[in-house]
Amino acid sequence: MKNLVLNLLSFILIILSWSCQRPEPAAGNKVVITGKILNYENHKDVKRIDVYLNDFIEMQKIIPVNIDDTGTFETTIQCYSIIDLLLRFGKASTILICAPGDSIVLTIDANVLNDSKNHYHSDHIMVTGGNRVEDNKPVNPLLKRIGRMVSYSEKTKAVKEMKPFEYYDYWNELYNKKSDILDSILKITDAGIFPLWAKDLLKYDKLRDLIEYHRVHSKFNDISRDSVHIPDEYYKKIFSENINDSEVLSYKHFYFLHSYSSYLFKKAGKKGVNVVDYIIENATGFPKDVALAKYFYRQFKKSDTVVDFNIDLIENEIIKDMLTETIHAEQAQKSDLLKSKPHSEFIDSLFGNYRGKVVYVDFWATWCGPCLAAMPDSKMLQEKYKGKPVEFLFLCIQSKKNDWKEIIKEKGMTGTQILLTDDQFAELRNMFNIRGVPHCVLVSKQGGFINNAPKPGDKKIIQEIDRLLNE
């Protein structure tokens, strides 16, 4: 008993001593995150923490943070508003909220790695120092409580069976119930940025699901989207709420901005009008600038030549700078598309048997919705090149083996399927500068790599494969 008490006191002292270490304040639009891994001496095979940062241009960036031999880590991220980050350590993950200029200290218990199950909103990852301790305390309790409100099957049944305005009313009722939960939490803690972030999260959770009704309803009913009629009044009700706010950007807010941009692109396509003109005429403020940036980036990705677009149509300087930096970085990659084969034993074993063939490499994950949605396009692409010297290599990352096997069976996935270890993915991620999935790569018959290849549903991919086949 005496030893147990002493060990407990030692554990508490470690946390207190670490949490009292305040990192240097972040300058300007940055956040400094430092941390300590407890019990790391038993888990030194885990070399990093992954920070998932939501992005205006793409969906998400993965920032790997190295852990040193003493179990400490440090990173600095760009931050232009109140945001949230997803931190993943092994199978434990949590949401962290922060604002520009913040300095945050984390304490992580490595013993969570002894448990094979996933730990979402994990209490093993704690904010123990810096200036956002109180703001982050209610984050996990809120997410857990609203997450238990409605089961996946109930939400699926609602979007499948309800008509548009019925679904709208259903979500408003659900939103009110979630708001009641938030109000009960705010009676206990009303600290700093938490209320702003939480209200943004609930608002855009609702708006994003409402704008996605068309796609999800047709998917679960196995019917074409064109057969589903959505009255214009339905979307007017969604957009009648203020969607131009940008002071807070929860992950649900980012999801909404991506869905809203896609909505504008599809509307322009159906009307047969110029996408840029349609966005300018039908969107305003912050969402308009995000949609323009995403469309310009999409055009850049599809083209092998310099894309001419007027970046000054984007009024928000932050979004404009992000787009410019992203394009400059990828333009540098485009100037050196075909790289000589590296001399890594793992890379050699992975690609070495395909000389004389074109290889389409698809990085995906069992938890990645866009990855799973692209599988039918992958099947069609494989069918097109059946009997030709084209191989399809699917590399699954950061996923449980049972989930991986189940999805391969469920989706009837063909081609070569490999579940990468974290170390294998780390090597490939560094090699191809992978910031999120899905991510595709083409391998030429000579063994050269073309990074950021078009997705399987993109018409450009056929041109690329045919070109490589004819080399």
Which amino acid is located at 117 in the chain?
Answer: K
Quick one: which of 138, 263, 152 has its CA closest to 201? Answer: 138
Q: Is the overall model pTM greater than 0.85, yes or no?
A: no
pLDDT of 16 above 50: no
Contact 94/87 with Cβ under 8 angstroms?
yes
Quick one: which of 151, 156, 153, 150 has its CA closest to 217? Answer: 156
Q: What does the alpha-carbon distance between residue 303 and residue 297 come to, in Å, rounded to a whole number?
A: 10
pLDDT of 131 above 80: yes
Tell me the mean pLDDT in the region 41-50.
89
326-376 pLDDT, tens digit each: 887 766 555 444 444 445 677 777 887 788 899 999 999 999 988 999 999
By percentage, how much of the chain surpasses pLDDT 90? 60
Least confident range from 160-169, 277-286, 400-409: namely 400-409
Position 344 scores a pLDDT of 66
pLDDT of 122 above 60: yes
Q: What does the alpha-carbon distance between residue 449 and residue 412 come to, in Å, rounded to a whole number?
A: 27
Tell me the mean pLDDT in the region 81-110.
94
Tell me the mean pLDDT in the region 445-458.
84
pLDDT grade for 95, boundaries at 50, 70 and 90? very high
Position 340 scores a pLDDT of 45
Q: Cβ atoms within 10 A of the Cβ of 276, count?
A: 17
- Please name the fold of domain 345-469: Glutaredoxin (3.40.30)
Q: What does the alpha-carbon distance between residue 132 and residue 123 come to, in Å, rounded to a whole number?
A: 16
375-434 pLDDT, tens digit each: 999 999 999 999 999 999 999 999 999 999 999 999 899 899 999 998 889 888 888 888
Length of the chain counted residue by residue: 471
Q: Which CATH number fits domain 2-133: 3.30.365.10, 2.60.40.1120, 1.10.10.60, 3.40.640.10?
A: 2.60.40.1120
pLDDT grade for 291, boundaries at 50, 70 and 90? very high
pLDDT of 264 above 90: yes
Position 346 scores a pLDDT of 78
Least confident range from 17-31, 158-172, 190-204, 214-228: namely 17-31
Q: Cis ω on the peptide bond leading into residue 438 (within 30° of 0)?
A: yes
| Higher-pLDDT residue of 202, 454 | 202
Burial of residue 467 (number of CB atoms within 10 Å: 0-12, 13-18, 19+):
middle
Are 2-133 and 345-469 in the same CATH fold?
A: no
Position 62 scores a pLDDT of 86
Which amino acid is located at 317 in the chain?
Answer: E
- Domain ranges, ordered by start, for the chain: 2-133, 137-251, 273-335, 345-469
Q: What is the mean pLDDT of the chain?
A: 86
Tell me the mean pLDDT in the region 59-88.
92
Q: How far is CA 62 from CA 51, 81, 87, 384, 388, in A?
A: 6, 19, 10, 33, 35
Position 345 scores a pLDDT of 75
Q: Which residues pair with 109 in a beta bridge?
A: 38
